[in-house]
Amino acid sequence: MRSSEPPLTARQQLRCQWRLAGAWGVPFIGGAFWLLLEHGGLSAALQGGLQTAAVLVYGWIRWGRALALNHPLQEPRLQPLLGAANWLTLLRGGLIAVLAGFIFQPAIPDGSPVGWVAWAPAVLYIAAAALDGADGFLARVTGSETCLGEHLDTEIDALGLLIAAALVVWIGKAPSAYLCVGLGYYALKAAVGARRKAGRPIAPVQPRPEARLVAGSEMGFAGAALLPFFEPTATRPVALVMTAALLAGFVRDWLVVCGHAAADGRPLIRGVERVDRAIARFLPVVLRAAVVAGVVVLVGRSPASKGVASLSTAGCALLATCAALLAFGVMTRMAGLAASVTVARTMAGPIPGFEWGVVLGCGVALIMTGAGDLKLWQPEDRFFMKRLGGHAPPGP
Q: pLDDT (tens digit, 9 = 90+) per residue, 328-341?
A: 999 999 999 999 99
Task: Tell me the C-alpha to C-alpha distance, in Å, between residue 365 and each of 197, 239, 340.
Answer: 37, 11, 10
pLDDT in tens, 156-169: 999 999 999 999 99
Q: Band the pLDDT of 308: cuts 50, 70, 90.
A: very low
DSSP 114-146: -GGGGGHHHHHHHHHHHHHHHHHHHHHHTT--B
pLDDT score at 393: 37
Say if CB 326 and CB 332 are below 8 A apart.
yes
| Mean pLDDT over the full length of the chain | 88
pLDDT at residue number 394:
38
pLDDT band at 303 (very low <50, low <70, confident <90, very high): low
The per-residue pLDDT for 41 is: 85
Confidence of residue 311 (pLDDT cuts 50, 70, 90): confident
Whether the Cβ atoms of residue 101 and residue 36 lie closer than 8 Å to each other:
yes
User: How far apart (Å, rounded) are the C-alpha atoms in residues 374 and 292?
Assistant: 15
Percent of the chain topping pLDDT 90? 68
Q: Which has more confidence, 236 or 264?
A: 236
Q: Which of 184-188, 265-269, 349-353, 367-371 has the lowest mean pLDDT?
A: 349-353
What local confidence, expressed as pLDDT, does residue 351 receive? 58
Q: Are 338 and 318 in contact (CB under 8 A)?
A: yes
Alpha-helical regions (H) of 229-269 = 232-257
Give pLDDT, residue 206.
Answer: 86
**pLDDT score, position 391:** 39
Q: If you compute the radius of gyration of the chain from its CA atoms, what whole number of angstroms results?
A: 23
Residue 186 near residue 158 (C-beta atoms within 8 A): yes
Band of pLDDT at residue 114, cut at 50, 70 and 90: low
Spatial distance between the Cα atoms of 271 and 294, rounded to a whole number of angstroms: 33
Q: Is the pLDDT of residue 94 over 60?
A: yes
Instruction: Name the nearest CA neighbour of 234 among 245, 217, 221.
Output: 221
Cα–Cα distance measured from residue 390 to residue 79, given in angstroms and rounded to the nearest whole number: 23
pLDDT at res. 135: 87
pLDDT value for 385: 72
Confidence of residue 188 (pLDDT cuts 50, 70, 90): very high
Tell me which amino acid residue 133 is.
Answer: G
DSSP letters spanning 269-316: SHHHHHHHHHHHHHHHHHHHHHHHHHHHHHHHS-TTSTTGGGS-HHHH
Q: Cα(249)–Cα(180) distance, rounded to whole angstroms?
A: 12
CA distance linking residue 50 with residue 242, whole number of Å: 31
The pLDDT value given to residue 264: 83
Query: How far is residue 363's CA from residue 318's CA, in Å, rounded to a whole number?
Result: 13
Would you say residue 389 has pLDDT above 60? no
Residue 1 has pLDDT above 80, yes or no: no
Q: What is the distance between the alpha carbons of residues 118 and 32, in angstroms, rounded to a whole number?
A: 14
Judge whether residue 309 has pLDDT over 80.
no
pLDDT the model gives residue 270: 85
* pLDDT of 349 over the 90 cut: no
The answer to whether 69 touches 148, Cβ cutoff 8 Å, is yes
Q: Is the pLDDT of residue 113 over 80?
A: no
In this predicted structure, the answer to whether residue 298 has a pLDDT above a threshold of 50 is: yes
Confidence of residue 343 (pLDDT cuts 50, 70, 90): very high
For residue 37, pLDDT beyond 60: yes
Residue pair 103/51 in contact (Cβ under 8 Å)? The answer is: yes
Look at residue 323 and tell me whether its pLDDT is greater than 90: yes
Q: Residue 163 belongs to what H/E stretch?
A: helix 147-170
Please give the single-letter amino acid code of residue 153: D
Section 136-149 average pLDDT: 88
215 vs 29: CA distance, rounded Å: 28
Is residue 146 helix, strand or coil? strand
User: For residue 58, which amino acid is it?
Assistant: Y
Q: What is the pLDDT of residue 136?
A: 84
Q: How many CB atoms lie within 10 A of CB 43?
A: 13
Residues 6+ apart with CB under 8 A from 346: 310, 311, 315
- Per-residue pLDDT at 16: 94
210 SS3 class: helix
More confident residue, 232 or 393: 232
d(CA 332, CA 390) in angstroms, rounded, equals: 23
What pLDDT is stored for residue 245 in this prediction?
A: 96
Instruction: Report pTM.
Output: 0.91
- Report pLDDT for 374: 86
pLDDT, tens digit, for every residue of 247-262? 999 999 999 999 999 9
CA-angle at 164, arms to 216 and 221, nearest 5°: 40
Residue 29 neighbours by CB under 8 Å, 6+ apart:
49, 52, 53, 56
Query: Computed from CA positions of residues 206, 219, 385, 283, in that sequence, does the dihedral angle turn out positive or negative?
Result: positive
Measured between alpha carbons, how far apart are the two ends of the chain, in Å? 67
